[in-house]
Chains A and B, each alone.
Chain A
């Protein structure tokens, strides 16, 4: 106590069990281990680098731990690597790159745990021939996967466009050993009152870039802006494929839906009442998307172009709804300076009534198929479906529309660019019109009507709103709180048929914004 102070060996021993000392010991041990691991890695890297041009070929690739996965499925993933190696002129560097691709491929399907270690060795029978050092060296690769559990049960909350929902989900992974999955979801939300769906997904030919999706669904959607609830039951089959090198994604789908417009509000407008009841929509839809944006939730660079074409009821499609519906969507974002960025988007769509297979002449569209534009993550400063023809308090929707926005995002003070917080200022607007006959012509063909409607759409001033607000771009969804003021609106407040603008604060949550 008197001599030596803390250097006293007894003191040291006394302190040995203290939490600080233990932590210090652990830290130093960890550092030593890490250093050793790093050295091993560096050594391995050096070895590989020294021999990177060494000609090699794969003698075998073994996947361990894939009991439930089918052999043919694995073969399809691994075969490209083996084919490359068989072509000759294959170096160690290329072998590693190819192997890495294979592992990425295995990871993609979400059927294995993401950490997939591999081992490289020469076959036991191989012996180095010093006389011929440049002879290709055979390699055996062992990929050690760990299959994820087949059944995944999940529940949680979700944010979609202008709605929140709670869901329960059961996923059966790798159903037949080929990365097929079956997903059964039940959810209840603020707008989609209830939704049940069962989706079966399978990759096409074990490719990570194409898949087939078969879906059965039953949903009840609350369309308060048009005073009704829409029930849909049916089937959707989709083929999706992507061309990553061109940022392209495409899909072709068929949907057969039984829709019911029901539970009308007491004050529903005559137009909505007329459309109430059952309809069968049988449609084929093609969507092509080219998206180069850096971040779809909060883009600061890149462009988006999406074309959506859908044909319902035409020819052999049958059903009770006949139309061609085409929509185009484009967005552009670029940075100006110091974290200030500009984003702009333009959308448009048209619904062209078609004669049903076996029907006499086209029938007009219904409230379920028309475009409803406006809302917190659509044309801001308007209520949901706030633009276009109205009757009473109902949005009736339009057969043709254009909408666009121009906005600037500013960095939030004392929050970095990565925080996802921004200020924004925007002007947005749109025009929505129902199909109209050209004035003075009692008899007009659908084509003439569409032409007249589109010419009005493009020649007249759009309804406009502007505002400022705060944006928060979370990876899950984008949140916006804006103060909006309408600049130009069709119809005065309270007038029959007037558009529904929104003055003041407007809160929006969603994945896609105008």
Chain B
């Protein structure tokens, strides 16, 4: 099994800023498509073959409907099949099925960040509980964008899959909501972003994957809810934990000292973030919430609202001393997850 299957928070993405989103994969794809057209034109079958092939098939029947989704399948709902998959933006995240139906916050910070950001930007979407295997990048989240209608027809194009690396740009192009004007190219912005992606994230990983109380009670059952069968959940659990360990770069024994150090650094990070926010409504003194607020909320919400046990309580205690961060979490929660 590749490490991609371990449902960890997605790797730091915030270095890709909304406007500076790189388009190199798109460029590569264009390259490929020109390539195939070139090949297509260079090979031409003989005329009589083309004439023959053009006559067949003799009959063309209408296409068949695609299989029903779980939601369509539930007899209580009577949605038209096409509406559901083609007519909605769907963010694929780690979520329990019940939460997914209510668009409740994902239990994975990487997913929650984007879920929150899409809400902040006023994008209409529903969420679907999924797994890393489904994602084009190997880790969640990703978005399947609403299919564009074909001009002059009730049919729609095939919806596009937006990997997380292109999500920021997609939001810029499609979001109706307000724009957060914070410049992401300042040293400060970058420093605080990396603070979340290292100090806070490592503490989160430690509390949920290495601390066995939380791992057994929360992490494992949540991430393996779709296959709660021994020994599959056991192996998946091992993989997740190993991936977390690899991530923390402590491959051998996790001593208490390292754990304490990780929490200490997290505490410092909370203090720094608390000082950054100060008495303002949003980070960096912005008029509206932005992606930075979403990434802070992704952790603060989960740390404050999940009943972390064991060493996770230290993590929460460290956060709770900063009332402005707690209020920031409550503000986002009540505005967009009320």
Residues of A within 8 A of B (CB): 231, 258, 260-264, 266-271, 273-274, 276-280, 318-320, 353, 361-365, 370, 388-392, 396-399, 432-437, 442-445, 460-461, 463, 485-492, 495-499, 501, 503-504
Contact = CB atoms under 8 A, between A and B. Distances in A.
Interface in B58-109: 58-70, 72-78, 85, 90, 92
Contact of A503 (B53, B157, B161): B53
B32 to A, nearest CB: 10
Contacts of B53: 485, 503-504
Given A319-B229, A399-B67, A271 B131 contact: no
A231 to B, nearest CB: 8
Given A262-B133, A273-B134, A491 B62 contact: yes
A348 B70 CA distance: 25
B74 A361 contact: yes
Given A278-B131, A442-B78, A496-B155, A320 B136 contact: no
Prevailing SS type, chain A contact patch: loop
5 contacts: A362-B73, A390-B66, A399-B67, A443-B75, A461-B61
Contacts, number: 163
A353 B68 CA distance: 12
A370 B68 CA distance: 12
A495 B64 CA distance: 12
Contacts of A273: 92, 130, 134, 144, 161
B99 to A, nearest CB: 16
B105 to A, nearest CB: 21
Interface of B: 1-2, 5, 49, 52-53, 56-70, 72-78, 85, 90, 92, 128, 130-134, 136, 144, 155, 157-159, 161, 226-227, 229, 232, 235-236
A388 B136 CA distance: 25
Contacts of A268: 136, 161
Contacts of A399: 67
Contact of A486 (B57, B131, B159): B57
Contact of B57 (A260, A266, A444, A501): A501
A389 B64 contact: yes
Given A392-B158, A442-B77, A498-B63, 12 more contacts: A270-B159, A277-B133, A277-B226, A278-B133, A362-B73, A397-B67, A398-B67, A444-B75, A488-B57, A489-B59, A491-B62, A496-B155
A443 B128 CA distance: 22
B57 A276 contact: no
B61 A434 contact: no
Contacts of B56: 485-487, 503
B323 to A, nearest CB: 40
A413 to B, nearest CB: 25
Contacts of A496: 63, 155, 157-158
Contact of A443 (B76, B229, B236): B76
Contact of A497 (B57, B66, B134): B66
Nearest to B85: A270
A269 B92 contact: no
Nearest to A261: B133
A436 to B, nearest CB: 6
A435 B67 contact: yes
A278 B232 contact: yes
Contacts of B68: 364, 434-437
B63 A497 contact: yes
A490 B62 contact: yes
A280 B64 contact: no
A354 to B, nearest CB: 13
A45 B69 CA distance: 74
A319 B134 CA distance: 20
A49 B272 CA distance: 107
B67 A364 contact: yes
B75 A361 contact: yes
Given A434-B66, A487-B56, A280 B229 contact: yes
B67 A320 contact: no
Contact of A436 (B2, B65, B157): B65
A363 to B, nearest CB: 6
Nearest to B55: A485
Contacts of A436: 65, 68
Nearest to B56: A485
Nearest to B150: A496
Contacts of A267: 161
A396 B65 CA distance: 10
A489 B144 contact: no
A364 B85 CA distance: 15
Contact of A396 (B57, B66, B136): B66
B5 A260 contact: yes
B134 A264 contact: yes
Contact of B226 (A274, A279, A396): A279
A364 B157 CA distance: 24
A365 B59 contact: no
Contacts of A364: 67-70, 72-73
Contact of A274 (B62, B134, B155, B232): B134
Contact of A264 (B2, B73, B133, B226): B133
B61 to A, nearest CB: 5
B128 A274 contact: yes
B67, B70, B128, B133 pick with most chain A CB within 10 angstroms: B67
A397 B66 CA distance: 9
B259 to A, nearest CB: 30
Given A433-B64, A434-B67, A497-B64, A280 B130 contact: no
Contacts of B78: 442-443
A121 B162 CA distance: 84
B57 to A, nearest CB: 4
B145 to A, nearest CB: 10
Contacts of A258: 227, 232, 235
B159 to A, nearest CB: 6
A273, A461, A490, A496 pick with most chain B CB within 10 angstroms: A273
B1, B66, B77 pick with most chain A CB within 10 angstroms: B66
Nearest to A399: B67
B226 A278 contact: yes
Contacts of A278: 131, 133, 226-227, 232, 236
B26 to A, nearest CB: 12
Contacts of B232: 258, 278, 280
Nearest to B53: A503
A490 B67 contact: no
Contact of B64 (A318, A388, A488, A492): A388
Contacts of A498: 63
A268 B161 CA distance: 9
Nearest to A367: B67
A271 B92 CA distance: 12
Nearest to B61: A490
A437 to B, nearest CB: 8
B68, B78, B157 pick with most chain A CB within 10 angstroms: B68
A118 to B, nearest CB: 51
Given A273-B134, A277-B131, A389 B75 contact: no
A365 B128 CA distance: 17
B66 A271 contact: yes
Given A397-B67, A463-B61, A488-B59, A445 B75 contact: yes
A485 B52 CA distance: 9
A448 to B, nearest CB: 10
Nearest to A362: B73
Contacts of B72: 364
A271 B70 CA distance: 11
Nearest to B74: A361
A158 to B, nearest CB: 26
